[in-house]
Amino acid sequence: MCKVTIVFDNYSTSPGLGASWGYAAIIEFKNRKFLFDTGGEAEILQKNLKALGESLKDVEAIILSHNHWDHTGGLSWVVSQLKNPVVYAGESYVNELKKDFHEIRPHPVGKQPVKILDGLYLTEEMEGPVKEVSLFLESQKGIVIITGCAHPGAVNIVKRVKELTGEAPFLLLGGIHLYRASKHEIKRVDEELKALGVKYLGVSHCTGEEAISYFESSWGERFLKVGVGSVINIKEGVI
């Protein structure tokens, strides 16, 4: 079982769900549940979870991609909802977290990739304008990567995961921070992701309107237009 439900995003799939700057997704894998990032605002996250009939009750760990408000904004509320909150986050960010949240059990992600369970992993905290951790998992159809903002660069992250798994990724989800990128840069990323063998692209959040429309026409059916409310159920197909 591999299911990703986007619960916070800049884009929404239904008027009943709040779209706002940020990203959060619930990952259900092998009957276990994880939360990847917490969005920009607790109130919107809460509203979206309710509208989607989702609950954090069985979430066994929170994964924080990086220390930016649009990924950590819902953290206080999320932590208050969990009994024994386990938090995976970059080493550079963990000390700060420990100061603010005494109740969490921090798992620092340093210079080595981390295995959360068989088939579900985090990259090391990759260098970039902002250090960041990305998630990757082995689904029935292939490797799925989820990024927060992809500050170390979407191409670098995909390259790294490909190096670690020895496989071309099946699907790339998350934000890839091209909202201020030039046409030239968008084109370069597009070409490199294709050359790396990425099969499907479901990027949203800080990817930006221009890059999203570019990918839509360039990837055709291989581009998944996703937002809050999108459920990516790998077993049953792509979306």
Q: Which one of the spans 62-70, 76-84, 90-98, 153-161 is the region binding Zn ion (CB under 5 A)? A: 62-70
Within 69-98, which residues bind Zn ion (CB under 5 A)? Answer: 70
**Judged by CB, which is closer to Zn ion: 173, or 234?**
173
Phi, psi of 59 (to 5 degrees): -65, 120
- By CB under 5 A, is residue 178 in contact with Zn ion? no
CA distance 220 to 105: 43
Query: What's the rounded Cα separation, in Å, for the pair 94 and 133?
Result: 12
Burial per residue of 143-181, b for 16 or more beta-carbon CB atoms within 10 angstroms, e otherwise: bbbbbbbbbbbbbbbbebbbeebeeebbbbbbbbbbbeb
Strand ranges across the sheet with 24-29: 105-109, 86-90, 59-64, 32-36, 24-29, 2-8, 231-233
Site string for Zn ion, 124-153 (x = CB under 5 A): -------------------------x----
Beta carbon of residue 226, minimum distance to Zn ion (angstroms, whole number) = 15
Residue 105's identity, in one-letter code, is R
Q: In the bound complex, what is the minimum distance in angstroms from residue 65's beta carbon to Zn ion?
A: 8
Q: Name the residue whose CB lies closest to Zn ion.
A: 149
Q: Per-residue x/- marks for Zn ion, 196-235, CB under 5 A? A: ----------x-----------------------------
Binding site residues, Zn ion, CB under 5 A: 68, 70, 149, 175, 206
